[in-house]
Structure 1
Amino acid sequence: MRSKILEELYINKGNYISGEVLRTKLGVSRTAIWKHINALKEEGYNIETIPRKGYMLLEMKDKLLPKEIEALISNNAIGQQIVYFDSIDSTNSYAKKEANKLKDGTVILSEEQLLGRGRRGRNWSSPKGTGIWMSLVLKPNIPPTEGVKMTQIAAAAVCKSIRELTGLNALIKWPNDIVINGKKICGILTEMAGELNEVNYIIVGIGINVNTDGFSCELKEKATSLFIEGGKKIDRRELVVNILKNFEALYNIYIKDLNLDETLVIVKNYSAILGKEIKIIQGNLEKKARAIDINNEGLLLVQMDDGSKELISSGEVSIRGENGYI
C-alpha cells in the first residue's frame, strides 16, 4: 500500500492530492493513508501536509530515493528495481544473501554502510549521506570465467560518468579503482556464485566518495572525494543515474558476443598506470615492473626488470605506484 501511495504522490508531484482522493483511489481509510504518509516521511521522503489541501511530494536532492532514480532511468533494464536502505551493514552482503530472490538488474542502494568492504576483506569507509554505496545484481548467460570482466565494465562506466558530470580528470587504476590526482575516489568489488558452466549471479559493488569533506589521518594520504577535488557538492542521484546508464550500455555490448572492446577503449584511454613503473604485490612477494598494455581479455601486460613480459590477472595481485598508492 505504501508504494501505491508513493506512486500517486509522484504522479501528482508538485501538486496537492487530498486524503479523500487517495482513500477513494486505493480503497483504504484516511487514517491508514495518514499512517503510511508518516512512514514515508520517516523513510526520508519530503512530503508536505496541509489540512484541507492534502499531501504534496517535494523535490528531494539530498537522498538517493528509489522512485526519483527509477523515473530517470525508465529505459534501463538495470535499476528498474531498486532496494533502498537508510543504513545497512554492506550492500554487497545483502545482495549476495538475497540474490536468488532478486531480479536480474536489481540495484541495492544505501545512505551508509556500517561494514563496507573492498577487495581482500579491506574495510571501506561509507559515511552517511556523503557517497554512493551500491551493488548491482546481474544474472548474465555467460561462462563463469567471463564474470571477472564485470569489474572493468563497472570501472569504465564510473570513470566515464565522473568525467562527464564533473569534468574532473578521473583515471582507472587497473582493475578496480578510480583515482583523481593519485588518490582513490572509488573502489569496485565484484563477487560471483555459479556452477562449473553457469553463472548464478554476479554482484558488482561500487563505493564512491562523492561529497565527503574530509578523511582521517590514516586515509587522507590515499583517499579523496569529488567534493574535495572539484570544490562543489555533487548531485549523487544524477551520478547514480549516469553510472547505471553507462554501465548498461557497455554491459549490453559485452554480453551480446563477449566483446570487451568498447570497455577497453575507456579503460586504456583513462588508465592511471599504463606506461608507468608499478609494484605488483602477490601475498608477501613484491615485484617491480612497467605496465605496457591491457589485452583483449582485460589482463594487464607488464614488462619485468629483466625484460621479460607477463600477463597479470586482476584476481592474483594488487597494483601500486612505484612511490605510493599510484
Structure 2
Amino acid sequence: MLKEAEGYISGQEICEKFNVSRTAVWKVIKQLETEGYLIEAVRNKGYRLKMAGDILSRAEIESSMNTEWAGKKVLYFDETGSTNTEAKQAAEAGAPHGTLAVADYQNMGKGRRGRMWTSPRGVGVWMSLMIRPEIHPSAASMLTLVAALAVSEGIGKTCGLETQIKWPNDIVADGKKICGILTEMSTELECINYVVTGMGINANMEELPEEIKDVATSILLQTGKRVKRSQLIGAVMESYEKYYNVFMESGNMSGLLDVYNSHLANMQRSVRVLQPGSEYVGTALGINDAGELLVKTEDGAVHQVISGEVSVRGIYGYV
C-alpha cells in the first residue's frame, strides 16, 4: 500500500483498509523499519515510504514475482545451512512444484563435488527451486542448463549486465564466475520425485575472498551498481518458467539450442576436458539436444561430453 501511494497515507486509511487498530498499524510500521524500510511519519498527514533499498524478505520476494508457478511459494530464511537442504526437506513434506527456498545467509552453502559455496550475509542471492518434472531421471541434468539460461537472462533484465554460460553450470562475466548452479534430485525407479536446483549469485559483494577473487566476480564489481535482490530473484524465476516450459515440450534441449549456444562462453573456443585418468584438448562446438557439450579434437572426432562426469576448462584459464 505504501509502495503504491504517491504521497502520504493516513493511519485511518490503513486502519479501514485492513480493518485493524491504529496500534496494530504502528507496530507494523515499526517492524518494517527494523527490516530496513525508511518510512516518514508526519502528524495530520500520515505515513510515506521514502526508500525501500535492497531488502530481502518473503514479502519483497513475493511482490517481485510475475509467474504462474515458479517461486509462487517462497520459504525465506535469514540464515540457514543450505537452501538446497531446505528445499529438499520441503519437497519431502509435500511442498508444491515451484517452491522456492531463499536465504540471506548460508553457513553451509553447497557447490559441485562437495565443495563449499561462500554465501555471505546481505550481498548475494542464495536460492533453491524445487520442481516435480514428469521426465526420466536421465534427463534431469538438462535442468541445470535451463537454470543457467534463466540466471543469465535474469541478470541481464535486472541490471543490464551481459553474462555468458560456462557449460554446464556456471555463469560468467568477463571470464569470471558470477553464479554457480547445483542440481540434486530424488528418484524412484524410472521416475523423479523432485529436483532441487540451487543458484548462488554474487550480487552486491564489494570484495571477494582472496582465494577466489581471481576467478570470481559480482554484479556490483562489474557494473558499479547495487542490484535489488528481490527483483533479481523475480526476474530469474520468470525466465526459468519460460525456458522450463519450452524444455518440457520436448523433454530435451532441442527447443533451446540456439539461445543456449548464443550464451555459451566456451563456444568455438579451445577447451581442456578433464576426466578420471585422462584429459584431451579440443574446440567446443556447442551443445546437442541432450545438453552434452560437443568437443572436436584435432583428429576430426567429435566427442559428446556428459555433464557430471568431467570438468571443462579453458586452455589458458577458467573459461
Shorter-chain TM-score bucket reads: 0.7 to 0.9
Structure-2 separation of matches of 1:44 and 1:170: 30
Q: Does 1:77 align with 2:69?
A: yes
What is the distance in 1 between the residues matched to 2:187 and 2:35?
Answer: 35
- What secondary structure is seen at the aligned counterpart in 1 of 2:141? helix
1:13/1:58 contact within 8 Å kept: no
Q: Within the alignment, does 1:313 sit opposite 2:286 as a pair?
A: no
User: C-alpha distance in 2, partners of 1:145/1:207?
Assistant: 24
The residue correspondences of 1:18-97 to structure 2 (distance < 5 A) are 18=11, 42=34, 59-97=51-89
Q: Which runs of 5+ in 1 are unaligned?
A: 1-7
* TM-score, with structure 2 as normaliser: 0.87
Q: How does 1:255-294 map to 2 (within 5 A)?
A: 255-283=248-276, 285-294=278-287
Cα distance in 1 for partners of 2:141, 2:178 equals: 21
- Displacement of 1:127 in angstroms is 1.4
Contact 1:92/1:203 (CA < 8 Å) preserved in 2?
Answer: yes
What's the offset of the Cα at 1:175? 0.7
The alpha-carbon deviation at position 298 of structure 1 amounts to 0.8
Deviates more, 1:182-191 or 1:156-165: 156-165
The runs of at least 4 aligned residues of structure 1 exceeding 4 Å deviation read 8-27, 29-59
1:90/1:113 contact within 8 Å kept:
yes
One-letter amino acid of the structure 1 residue matched with residue 200 of structure 2: G
**Range that drifts further, 284-293 or 145-154:** 284-293
**Which amino acid is the alignment partner of residue 74 of structure 2?**
I
- In the aligned structure 1, how far is the partner of 2:10 from the partner of 2:102? 29
Matched, 1:325 2:312: no
Q: Do the aligned partners of residues 249 and 275 (structure 1) sit closer, same or farther apart at CA in structure 2, a change above 3 Å counting? A: same
Whether the aligned pair in 2 keeps the contact of 1:92 and 1:204 (CA below 8 Å) is yes
User: Quick one: which of 180, 199, 222 aligns to 2:215?
Assistant: 222
* Aligned pairs (5 A) from 1:102-141: 102-141=95-134
The CA RMSD measured in Å over matched residues stands at: 2.9
Equivalent runs, 1:203-242 vs 2, <5 Å: 203-242=196-235
| Count of matched residue pairs | 318
CA distance in 2: counterparts of 1:279 and 1:233, whole angstroms: 35
After TM superposition, the score normalised by the length of structure 1 is 0.85
Q: Secondary structure at the match of 2:234?
A: helix
**Any idea what the Cα deviations from partners look like across 1:296-321, whole Å, max 9, x if unmatched?**
11111112344332211111111111
Q: Which residue of 2 aligns with 1:3?
A: none
Identity of aligned residues (%): 40
Decide whether aligned partners of structure 1 residues 147 and 32 sit closer, same or farther in structure 2, where only a CA change above 3 A counts. same
Deviations 1:201-259 (A, max 9, x none): 11111111111111222111100111111222222222212111111011112223324
CA shift for structure 1 position 71: 2.5
Tell me how far apart the structure 2 counterparts of residues 10 and 182 of structure 1 sit (CA, whole Å).
Answer: 38
Higher mean displacement: 192-201 or 234-243: 234-243
Q: Distance in 1 between matches of 2:296 and 2:83?
A: 37
